[in-house]
Amino acid sequence: MAADSTTDEVATWQVITGSARGAAHRASGLPNQDAVSSQDGPGGVVVAIADGHGHIRHFRSADGAALAVDVGCRAASRAASVLAADDTGEEDAERAGQELARSVVADWRSAVAGQLEQRPYTVEEQFILDLAADAPVIPYGSTLLVAVITARWLVCAQIGDGDMLAVRPDGRSFSPVAGDDRLDGRRTTSLCQPDALESFRTGAHDLRQVPLAALLLATDGYGNAQADEPWQPSVGRDLAELAACHDRHWFGQEIPGWAQRCASAEGSGDDATIALLLPEGG
C-alpha cells in the first residue's frame, strides 16, 4: 500500500475500553463473559479483548476469556520488546505476530490447566463434560483479539469472531488481519480447539507507511449490533472524524455507553466489549 506520509515523530497511544453485559445475558442470569486488558510498557502499548463462548458446553468461558486477555497481554508485551528494536523489519514483525499466537496458545492452555488444578470440575460440571464427550479445556472456550503498537509497528493476532478495524486519518479503514470464512455468525474458532494455532490470523503493519488515526478492537456483540452491512466503512469514517476533534477524555466518557448500547435489547443483546487505541501526538 502506498505511503500517505512518513513521520519520525513517535506517537504514544492511549487505550480506552468499555464492556457491557448483554441484555440477553442479564435476562437469563448469565454474567458478562467478555474480558479486556491492556498494558503500557517501554516497548509499546498492548491490548487484548476476549469473548467467552457462553454456550453450556463452555460453562467456564468467562474464566477462559479472563485467562486469555491476561496471557495475551503478557505475550504481547514480550513481542513489543522485540518490535521496539530499531532494526526490526517487516519479516521480523510478521514473525513476531506468529510467535505471539504460538505463545498465547501455549500459555493459555497452561493457565487453564493451572486453574483446573486449583479448581477441579464439580460433579455437575463433569456431567456436562462427559455428556458432550469434551476434552477438559473445552469449557474454557474463548476468542482472543490482541494488538501490539510500538513506535513503528502494529502487530495483531486474532482467533475467533470479533473485529479489528484500523482507521486511517482520511477515514478509510481496513482489517489488520485476514478474514476467516468459517466465522458465519453462528460458530467461531476458539482457543479451546485442538488446532487453535492454525486458526490464528496474524498481521503486521508499518505505521510509518500506513499512519493510523485509531485502532478499534471489538467483540462480536459490537459488530452484531450494527445496522449497516458492512458496518466497517461508516464506523471507520465516523471514528476518524471523532478522533480529529475529541480527546481521549471524551472517548473515555463515550465508549462505555457505546458498549452498553450495543449490548442492549435494541442491539445485539450480547456482551459487547470495545477497546479503542488513539495516538497522541501522532
Partner 1 sequence: MVAQQLAADDRPEPVGVIMTGETAPYPRMPGGGISRRPLHFIILADCSGGMKGEKIQALNFAIADMLPHLAAWERDQEQAQVFIRAIAFATEPWWHIAEPQPVAQLGWKPLQPVPKGLTNMGPAFALAAQALGPGRIERRALRPAMLLITDGLATDPPGGFEAGLSALMAQPAGQAALRLAIAIGRDARSAALDRFIGDPGVPVLVADSSEDIADRLVAASLAVSRMSEVGADRGAVARRLFGTPDDVPSKIFDQDTIV
CB of 208 to partner 1, least distance (A): 25
Name every residue whose Cβ is closer than 8 Å to that of residue 277 and which is 6 or more positions away in sequence: 13, 14, 15, 16, 45, 47, 147, 149, 214, 215, 216, 217
CB of 230 to partner 1, least distance (A): 8
Contact (CB, 8 A) for 211 and 5: yes
Distance between CA atoms of residues 9 and 68, nearest Å: 33
Residue number with CB closer to partner 1 (153 or 258): 258
In the region spanning residues 125 to 154, those forming contacts with partner 1, defined by CB under 8 A, are: 131-132, 138, 141
The cell numbers describing 63, all together, are 474464566
Question: How many whole angstroms from its chain centre is CA 230?
Answer: 19
In the region spanning residues 21 to 50, those forming contacts with partner 1, defined by CB under 8 A, are: 21-28, 30-41
Residue number with CB closer to partner 1 (156 or 274): 274
The residue count for binding partner 1 (CB under 8 A) is 86
Distance between CA atoms of residues 209 and 219, nearest Å: 28
| Residue type at 243 in one-letter notation | A
CB of 238 to partner 1, least distance (A): 3
Name every residue whose Cβ is closer than 8 Å to that of residue 198 and which is 6 or more positions away in sequence: none
Closest CA to 153 of 94, 101, 197, 105: 94
Stretch that binds partner 1, among 4-12, 79-87, 108-116, 257-265 (CB under 8 A): 257-265
Please identify which residue in 43, 44, 58, 149 interacts with partner 1, judged by CB under 8 A. Answer: 58
Is 219 a binding residue for partner 1 by CB under 8 A? The answer is: no
| Residue span 88-127 as binding mask against partner 1, x where in contact by CB under 8 A, dash where not | ----------------------------------------
Is 17 a binding residue for partner 1 by CB under 8 A? The answer is: yes
In the region spanning residues 235 to 254, those forming contacts with partner 1, defined by CB under 8 A, are: 235, 237-239, 242, 253-254
Please identify which residue in 86, 117, 124, 228 interacts with partner 1, judged by CB under 8 A. Answer: 228
Residue number with CB closer to partner 1 (153 or 222): 222
Contact (CB, 8 A) for 20 and 32: yes
Residue number with CB closer to partner 1 (93 or 213): 213
Sign of CA dihedral 223, 229, 234, 236: positive
* ω into 230 cis (within 30 of 0): yes
Residue number with CB closer to partner 1 (23 or 156): 23
Cα(first)–Cα(last) distance of the chain, in Å? 20
| Residue span 161-200 as binding mask against partner 1, x where in contact by CB under 8 A, dash where not | ---------------------xxxxxxxxx-xx-----x-
